[in-house]
Structure formats: C-alpha cells, structure tokens
Structure 1
Amino acid sequence: MLRLTELTLPLHHADEALPAAICKRLRITPRELVRHVVARRAHDARDKANILLVYSVDVNVKDEAATLARFAKDRNVQRTPDTRYRFVAQAPEGTASKRPVVIGAGPCGLFAGLILAQMGYRPIILDRGKVVRERTKDTWGLWRRGVLNPESNVQFGEGGAGTFSDGKLYSRIKDQRNLDRKVLTEFVKAGAPSEILTEAHPHIGTFRLVTMVESMRETIESLGGEYRFSSRVDGLDIAVDSTGERRIRGLHLHTGETIEADHVVLAIGHSARDTFEMLHAAGVYVEAKPFSIGVRIEHPQSWIDTARFGADAGNSILGAADYSLSHHCSNGRTVYSFCMCPGGTVVAATSEVGRVATNGMSQYSRNERNANSGLVVAIDPARDYPGDPLAGIALQRHWESLAYVAGGSTYKAPAQKLGDFLAGRSSQALGEVTPSYRPGVHLTDLSQCLPDFAVTAMREALPVFGRQIPGYDHPDVLLTGVETRTSSPVRFTRGETFQSLNTAGLFPAGEGAGYAGGILSAAVDGIKVAEAVALSMNGPALPVAL
C-alpha cells in the first residue's frame, strides 16, 4: 500500500473527484486503482475565497513496485508507514515484585496504567479525586452554585483536567514510533468517533470523554489493574543506601494507609500544588519552569467563522473555525492564543478555596454561541520568579486570589469589555458578547488582577490580532480573568531512564512533571513512561530509547 500526501481538492468537490485526483497524481488509469482510504484530511483556509481540502490517502494499485519506482524521489509518494503499536516488554510469569503504582488518573496516568495493564503488570492507580461521574456533579456544583470541592473539581478526579476541555487530540510532538496513533486507536475502542483517526485536528469534547474514561477504566480493571479514588498521596517513603542513592520504597496516603512501591509513575497534573510542595520537601529534584498568564477572550463564534471562512462559514466539513495567534511585544513579552475552544464556554477551573482561575471547554458538536481562547503572556523563572523552584506556584496563587476579590469573592470571575480594557477604564455594562462563564462574571477593571507587564503587552497585541482576524478587537469582546493554569510551573526533571534525577523508582510524567501540554502529548508521555517502568521491572534500569 502507498501513502499519497498533499493531495488538494476544492472544498465543494464531488465524491468522484478524489479517486480521479489520485489517478492523475500517480499517472495511472482508473482500472489500476484497486482501493483508496483517506488517512488524513485537513483544510487550507488561507484564501477564504478558495478554501481547499488537503488529503493524505492510502492506495492500492495493481503494480505497486512500478508506481513507487516512478516516484522514487517524490516525498509525497511513499510506502504507507506501519503504525501498529508494539509492546516493549511483558510481565514475567510468577514474579513476586511489587505492583507498579500510578499517581493520577488524567490522560497521562490513564495511558500509563493502560499500557502497564496490557503488558501484564497489574498497576495500582491512585487519584485524589472521585470517579468521573461523581466528579462531574462536584464540578457542576461550582459552576451552578459557587460551591468548590477542593478534592473534586476541574483539576482533580478521574480523567484529569482534560475531561473538562475542548478535548483536542493533536499536538506539535514529533514521534517516530507513532505513539499518538496508539492513543487515538484506544480512544476509538473506548467510544470516540472513528473520524479522529483521519481528521487533522481531531477533538472529542467533554461529554464523550466522560464515557470513554469509564470504558478505559473497565479495560484496565479487566486486565488486573486496580483503581483507588479519594486517595491523595501525602508522603513518600524514600530509602538511602550506603552509596547515597535515594530510592522510592512506598507511599503514604492521607487516609493513613501506606502502600509499598518501588516503581511509581508521578502523573499528578499541573495543578497539584500541595503535592508539588510535598515532593520538594521530600527532596525530589524539582526546578521552576516557564508558563503563561492572562485571560480568556470570548467572541461570538459566528464572527470567527466569517472572518476565517468567508462565504463558507457554517460548512459542515469545516466546522467551527479556530485560530492561532502570536505577537512579540515591544516590552520583550510574547502574547499568544492558548487552548482555543470553538463553539465552547469559559469555565471555572480553580482547585483552591478563595481563588479564581479560568479555562475553556467545548462539547463534540462545538455548537455553543461563543468561541473562547486563552489570551496569555509568556513568563519565565529567571525574569519573573527567580530563586525558588516553587515560586511560580506563589505567583499563580497571588493573581488568582486577586481575581477572586475582583470578582466579588463569590467565585464569579472578573470580566471587562475589550474596549474598556484598552482604554484603561472599568466596564459598567455588557455589550454584544454574552459571557458563558458560570457561576457568572463581575464587570470590573482586569488590570487589578494581572501583572503590569501582561496588561501592557496585551494592550499592544490586541489591535495587531484585530488586523489579522477582523472583529477580534471589537470593543464589546469580553475578557474574563484569570488564566494561570496554561502549564505546570515546575518540572520534576528526569534522566535517560525516565526516572527522577535523584530518586530511583520515581518516574515523573505528563503535564504536572513538565513533560507534556494537552491530552495527546500527556497520553503519549504516559505510554513512554509505562514502557520505561516495564523495562526497569524486567531487569536493571537501562537508558530508554523511546
């Protein structure tokens, strides 16, 4: 089978146009084309008056060798890659070794647990939160009634923060082993729509993610894995040998229980601040990491669709339009869009009492009234929070606390119209954009809960973005604060065996460890770490080329 890439057709092409284009591109007759399957489909809307669909297609032809030879120097005609996943190890029968433990049941922990279970290692998966449906009720408790459960919310519980998001399943990671394909395949098995295997920018949405997470839990348990919810890890048992090597020996839960463990996957997510502090106090190597701070910006989705797709706005193939923006400012800061959610809502994402943090979420249909995205400013440890590896946490808490006060101290979020933000005045009334944030917004001046450098940079960037996307800087566009959880503010650095630099047997993984950003990359990192754990359990720890 051959993989034909970069095959372009008009948006409104007829069904028969694709096989005709394949034959033309390969210089074969229709009789020589045995079969074709779409491997990937994207769209090119740079010219909104002439939007193109861009295909990668797997084809069977009658004389494959001759066709391939004819295009020997054409990188867009190659053999179809083998994307089947192959396990790197299998649990030896009759071993008495301790079971591996995975801390965290978000995308990273979920796939670490799944791969370990599929390899026969019967992992124990701990999560401080609740099963996904109970967690959903608690999350709605904040959104509808302003009642926060610090252990069961957008950040904590089965499925992790990705459950209440747009469910994007694409990233910028480069992976020679196509581990992202393994992730997507497992999601389809668990109930995701099959088109995520072919769409260039697949997504799932919250409601579907809930049922998929439940299905994958059932798979892990059927393979001998064990889940323990409402099980927060509050301490580590670390042994130090005569050479000074530190090694994990067990975990202390908040319930008073101790679990013996010498292989632990640390997949705790980017908001487990108390756990970060516990790990630092226990001497686990940690360093500060860059992240970003800003707001969510909200437009009517129809404005974005028209700006991006012109007359083809609303086309079912194109779906709800998204965007990606970036601007390097005169004060040395970079402002960029983050976690863009077409047809979605702005959500309350705090996990701590007396603080407000925002995020974005979409359902699979992406048919809500508004589009929203993070409008954030990049910050870094050396410049903004030097000297202490946990200083980024303090910075996040500071601005989230001010946002709580600016919102009225009721978990309402502070909000401001874009025109007022640019003019430096407090907003008094809403305009054309209706806020989607629940439990509601309080109109105010957002500059009181953002760093001055971020306010200055955003005020410079917004008109620039308005020239790129007409209507983006409309005065009635709504800004809702604050966005602080773009990524983990720390990195638990690991070595070439995927273990902590100074604590053997501890495998930092995913977003919370500073090694991923989003559902797909976190899941892929979970697979890599699970493989490293398996290789370590099967013998001496060796460098892992994954």
Structure 2
Amino acid sequence: MIRLNQVKLPLDHTDDALQKYVLKALSISAEQLTDIHIFKRGYDARKRNAITLIYTLDVTLADVDEEAILVHFVKSPDVRKSPDTEYKYVAQAPDNLTERPIVIGMGPCGLFSALLLAQMGFKPIILERGKSVHERSKDTFRFWRKGELNTESNVQFGEGGAGTFSDGKLYSQVKDPNFLGLKVKQEFVAAGAPAEIIYVSKPHIGTFKLVTMVERMRRKIIALGGEIRFESRVEEIHIDDAQITGVTLNGGEVIKSKHVVLAIGHSARDTVQMLSDKGVYLEAQSFSIGFRIEHKQELIDQSRFGINAGNPILGAADYKLVHHCKSGRSVYSFCMCPGGVVVGATSEKEAVVTNGMSQYSRSERNANSAIVVGVSPSDFNNDPLQGIALQRQLERQAYILGGSNYDAPAQRVGDFLAGNEAKPVGEIEPSFKPGVKMIDLSSSLPDFAIDALREALPAFDKKIRGFAAADTMLTGVETRTSSPLQIKRGRDYQSVNVKGLYPGGEGAGYAGGILSASIDGIKIAEAVALDMLLEK
C-alpha cells in the first residue's frame, strides 16, 4: 500500500473527491485503484468560514509498480510506503505457567495491562478497590442526585477508572511509533465504540458508551483466563530484599506474585501513603489547580467554525488555550468537554472536586473546561505527600464554601474579575451536580492562582470573544488534573528500588488521559510478559 499525507479537500467535498484526488496525484487509472482506506481525518479551522479537511490515506493498487511510484515521489514527504500498523504480541505464556501477575486498578492503564496479559496467556489477577462499572454507576448518580457519597465507589474508584465519567477523549500528544494507540482504539471498537474513533483526529466516546464497553472488555479478560476481583483494596505490598512478593487485601487475604502492575489512578491517596511507608521511591511533580468554566456551546461553535457551526463532520467545537502570566505561572484549559456538564468528582468525605463529563452526542447546551494554574514542586517543598495535602486542603475548603453539603462554590466571571461579592446566576446556568452555591471565589484558591486566573481570563477573551463575558460561570475547585507525584521507574518499567513493581498510568505520573494511560498499560504488560519469560 501507498500512504498519502496532507490530502486537503473542502469541508463540503463530494463523495468521489477522494478518488479523484488519488487518481490525479498518482497518475493512475480508476481500474488500477483497488481501495482507499482513511487512516486519519482532521481539519484546519484557522479560516473558520473556509474549513479544510485533511486526510491521511492508505491506497491499495493493482497492476501498478508501487516501487516506481515511490521512487518518483522520493523527495515528497506526502507519498510514502504505508507502515505496518498491525499489533504484534511480544510474548506468549508457557503452558506450565506457575505464577500469575497481579494488576492493581482497573482504569485505562490497568484495563489494558490486564487485557494484553490475558491475550498473551498470562491469566492476570485484577484487583479493583471499587465496584463493577454497573454498580459503580448507581453509586455515582446517587451522589450527584442526593449528595450521598460512597468513598470506595464513585467517579474516581471502580471499574473503568476516572475516565469512565468523562468526555471519553481518545487523543494524546504522546509519541507512538509502534501504533499502540491504534491497538487501543481497535479494542474499543471491538467492545462497541463507534468505528470512526479509528480515524478521526479528535475521537471521543462519551460516558454511556464507555460503561458498556468496559463491561465487554471485562468479559474478554475473563474468557481468556483472567480473574477480576471487585471491592478488593490493596492494604499492603510485601517486599523481600527489594523484590515485591505479593499483596494483602482489605479482607486480610495474601496473594503472592513477583510481578505487580500498579495502576491505581491519581486519587488513591491512601495507597500512595502505604507505598511511601514501605519505602517505594516517589518524587514530587507539577500539577495544576483552578476552576471549571462554562459557556453556551453555541458561543464556542460560532467562534471556532463560523458559518460552518453545526456541521455534523465537525460536531461540537472545542478549544485549547494557554496564557503565560507576568508572574511566570501558566494558565491553560484542560479536559475541555463540548456539550457536556460539570460533575462532582470527590472520592473523600467532606470535599468538593469538579470534573467535566459529556456523552457521545455532546448535545448539552453548555461547553465546559478546566481553567487551571500550574503548581510546581517548589510550592509544596518538593514533597509529593505535601502535594496531596495541598489538594486535600483546597477540596475541603471548597466543601465548606459550598455549604458543607457537596454543593460547589461558584461565581460569575464578571464578579470574579471585579473582585465583587457573588450575584445570582445570570444567562449561563451552572450544570454542576449535585448543585452550586454562589459565593466570592477569591478565597477558594491560593492568591497566586487567583491572580493568575484574573490575568488570564481577559487574555482568553481576546482569542474567543465572549470567553470572559460577565455571565460566564466558574465552579470550584479543579484539583485532580494530574498526580502531584511520580512513582519512579526505570527503562524496564519497574520501580527504581522495588523489583517486580510496575507503576503506570496517571496515578504513577506517566500518562494524562485515557489514550496515553492505555498505551502505558500495553507497554507495562509487554515488560511484565518478557520478564516472566526470562525467569522461566
């Protein structure tokens, strides 16, 4: 096959435009063109009233000397031999397998570690502190409706991880030379995701689809010999001469293994404390704090797409913003959810945490995003546990400011920028579940964060007119953008000071979203499998 890059066509191009482009570009006849496969489709919306679609195509030809074509286009970066994107397993478990690897956590990283280990025949044991995704959904919606929190079954904890109750975005900036992201998407499609996620540049799935997909992936793991235990919190890891030997569960059961994948997510603070107490090496790393901001989705659509707003190929518009403050701090948008809602995402009692969520349709009237300020390790004495303490302090403060009932503190942007007392909700209704209390948000974050946000919002308004309009809604607080620590690992993906412990995903500081965490899970599964074979 031959790959064509940077194939640019108008947004409203005809059905046969791709074929015409390929025939002309390669100077071939229609009889010589067997198939056109869309590898990727994105768009250029810099000229919002003249949006261009940009394709990467894999073309199959018949009765054509492909090598001659490649030689002819040798100086063109846009005509190349199609790469081999098929995933190849690095190992296969022996029939006399005596040890089973343990995977702690069933978010994206743990899910794909377990799936790949199962596909390679290693029959992993998966330990998830929360409930199955169906039961977890009941607990989560009960919290949003009634404010009744289950600290072991919520937005953060349970089958599918925090990504289950999100926008389900599947794009990342991680380098992926081995096309592991494609393997992730193919597994998602096999589990029921829309086929388009394979090729669109900004694929997303949405919460309701993710729930059923996770259930199907669980069944596949079990069918391949894996074992999944819900409501099984790891209380202790066992280390003998710098080698992990097993774990103790919350019921006291001990499970032995020399290969343990640690995919705990960024909210398992009790587990992090246990790891620190056991001497596992941790390092502080930067994270961010801020608010959720809400606009009417039509404002964002018009700003990004102009007369093309509402085009089904484009869908609901998103944005990505960054501002570098005079203080040296950076303020940026994060986890933007077009046509979504803001939801309570705490996993601890008497704390308020915000997050964004949307369905596949992205049809809610508001767009929301985190607008956050960078926090560096020097802000918390380079101590990873103090980074957690700072998050917890802000979350508990938000709980009090919101009325001590899991409602979130909120304020209109106009009042926030002017430093005024909070006025009632204006044109934009907050979507936060369970609810909001309108207050002055200036006491909800450290002064450096408030100052940075007040500088950044008017700057963002210059990029998206109306972004800092008076009735725009801010809801606090956003604190769990990423983990404030990294569980250091070597090139073999094992902890730098505990052999057999494989930290991965967002909680270990090696990913930032569903796709990157899933890719990390695949890499860890490969490392575990190869190490287990070496021991044989």
Counterpart of 1:487, as a letter, is: S
SS of structure 1 residue aligned to 2:246: strand
TM-score normalized by the length of structure 1: 0.96
Post-superposition CA distance 1:124-173 (Å, at most 9, x none): 00000000010000001110000110000000000000000000001001
For residues 513-534 of structure 1, give each alpha carbon's deviation from its aligned partner in whole angstroms, at most 9, with x where no partner exists.
Answer: 1000000000000000011111
SS at match of 2:216: helix
Q: Which runs of 5+ in 1 are unaligned?
A: 241-245, 542-546
Identity of matched residues, %:
60
Q: Distance in 2 between matches of 1:184 and 1:77?
A: 25
Mapping for residues 161-200 of structure 1, pairs under 5 Å: 161-200=162-201
How many angstroms does 1:49 deviate by? 1.6
Tell me which residue corresponds to 1:288: 284
1:336 maps to amino acid: Y
Q: Which amino acid aligns with 1:268?
A: I
What secondary structure is seen at the aligned counterpart in 1 of 2:374? strand
**3-state DSSP class of the match of 1:75?**
coil
1:337 aligns with 2:339: no
SS at match of 1:184: helix
1:424 aligns with 2:424: no
- 1:91 counterpart letter in structure 2: A
Which residue does 1:508 correspond to in 2? Answer: 503
Deviation of residue 540 (structure 1)?
A: 4.9
Match of residue 373 from structure 1: 369
Deviation at 1:10, TM superposition (A): 0.8
Distance 2:497 2:37 in 1: 49
2:36 equivalent to 1:11: no
- State the match for 2:493 in structure 1: 498
**What is aligned with 1:276?**
272
Classify the secondary structure of the residue corresponding to 1:208. helix
Structure-2 residue corresponding to 1:346: 342
* 2: CA distance, partners of 1:396 / 1:524: 27
Aligned to 1:145: 146
Counterparts of 2:60 and 2:510, CA distance in 1? 39
1:59 maps to 59
Aligned residues between the structures: 534
Aligned to 1:261: 257
CA contact 1:171–1:518 (8 Å) conserved in 2: yes
What is the distance in 1 between the residues matched to 2:195 and 2:436?
Answer: 38
Instruction: Provide Cα deviations, 1:493-526, integer angstroms capped at 9, x if missing partner.
Output: 0012111111111100111110000000000000
Read off the aligned partner of 1:385 and give its amino acid letter: F
Structure 2 residues not aligned, in runs of 5+? none
Verify the 8 A CA contact 1:267 1:513 in the aligned structure 2. Answer: yes
Between the aligned partners of 1:95 and 1:411, the Cα distance in structure 2 is 49
- Distance, in Å, in 2 between the alignment partners of 1:456 and 1:304 is 25
Q: What letter matches 1:301 in structure 2?
A: Q
Conserved? CA contact 1:426–1:443, under 8 Å: no
- Establish whether residue 523 from structure 1 lines up as the match of residue 518 from structure 2: yes
Deviation at 1:427, TM superposition (A): 1.6
Report matched runs for 1:477-492 at 5 Å: 477-492=472-487
- Amino acid paired to 2:355: N
Residue in 2 that maps onto 1:208:
209
Q: What one-letter code is carried by the residue in structure 2 that aligns with 1:214?
A: E
> Structure 1 CA distance, aligned partners of 2:35 and 2:281?
54
Give the aligned partner of residue 92 of structure 2.
90
Q: Does 1:450 align with 2:456?
A: no
Amino acid at match of 2:324: H
- Structure 2 residue 391 is the aligned partner of structure 1 residue 396: yes
What displacement does 1:43 show?
A: 1.0
Question: For 1:74 and 1:356, how far apart are their aligned partners in 2?
Answer: 54
Match of 1:409 among 404, 407, 410: 404
Output the aligned Cα RMSD.
Answer: 1.1
> In the aligned structure 1, how far is the partner of 2:322 from the partner of 2:25?
36
Cα distance, 1:175 vs structure 2: 1.5
- Spell out structure 1 runs of 4+ moving beyond 6 A: none
Measure how far apart 1:31 and its partner are.
Answer: 3.9
**After superposition, what is the alpha-carbon deviation per residue over 1:237-284, rounded to whole angstroms, capped at 9, x for unaligned?**
1112xxxxx111111111111111110000000110011001000111
- Residue by residue over 1:62-106, the C-alpha shift from the partner in whole angstroms, topping out at 9 and shown as x without a partner, is 42222222111111111111111111111111132x210000000
Give the whole-Å Cα distance in 1 for the aligned partners of 2:129 and 2:391. Answer: 21
Instruction: Give the equivalent residue in structure 2 for 1:433.
Output: 428
Which shifted more, 301-310 or 386-395?
386-395
Equivalent residue for 2:72? 70
Question: Displacement, 1:26?
Answer: 2.4
Q: CA deviation at 1:388?
A: 2.2
Tell me the CA shift for residue 452 of structure 1: 0.6
What letter is aligned with 2:383? D
Look up the equivalent residue of 2:138 and give its one-letter code: K
Match status 1:159 vs 2:156: no
Deviations 1:261-308 (A, max 9, x none): 110000000110011001000111111111000000000101100111
**Distance (whole Å) between structure 2 residues aligned to residue 95 and residue 159 of structure 1:** 28
Deviation at 1:387, TM superposition (A): 4.2
Q: Counterpart of 1:48 in structure 2: which amino acid?
A: R
Q: Which letter maps to 2:22?
A: I
Shift in Å at residue 33 of structure 1? 2.7
Quote the residue 2:306 is aligned against.
310
User: 1:225-248 CA deviation, whole Å, 9 max, x = no partner?
Assistant: 0000000001111112xxxxx111
Is the 2:415–2:423 contact (alpha carbons within 8 Å) kept by the matching residues of 1? no
Mapped contact 2:97–2:122 kept (Cα < 8 A): no
Task: Choose 119-128 or 252-261, whichever is displaced more.
Answer: 252-261
TM-fit CA distance, 1:25: 2.4
Query: 1:2: Cα distance to partner?
Result: 0.7
What's the counterpart of residue 470 of structure 1? 465
* 2:76 is equivalent to residue 80 of structure 1: no
Distance 2:250 2:68 in 1: 66
| CA distance in structure 2 between the aligned counterparts of 1:519 and 1:212, rounded to whole angstroms | 14
What is the distance in 2 between the residues matched to 1:160 and 1:74? 44
Could you tell me how far apart the structure 1 residues matched to 2:25 and 2:145 are?
56
**SS in structure 1 of the partner of residue 534 of structure 2:** coil
CA contact (8 A) 1:350 1:358 kept: yes
Q: Take 1:121 and 1:43, find their aligned partners in 2: how far apart are those partners? A: 42
Structure 1 stretch displaced more, 141-150 or 386-395: 386-395
The corresponding residue for 1:544 is: none
- Find the aligned partners of 1:35 and 1:86 in 2 and give their Cα distance: 24
**Could you tell me which of 317, 321, 324 is aligned with 1:325?**
321
The aligned residue for residue 36 of structure 1 is 36
Q: Distance in 2 between matches of 1:192 and 1:82?
A: 23
Secondary structure of the structure 2 residue equivalent to 1:390: helix
Q: Deviation digits for residues 303-326 of structure 1, max 9, x if unmatched? A: 100111111111111100000000
SS for the counterpart of 1:327 is strand
Is the 8 Å Cα contact of residues 248 and 254 (structure 2) preserved in structure 1? yes
- Aligned partners of 1:388, 1:291: CA distance in 2, in Å? 13
Measured after TM superposition, the shift of residue 23 of structure 1 is 2.1
Q: Aligned partners of 1:328 and 1:29: how far apart in 2?
A: 53
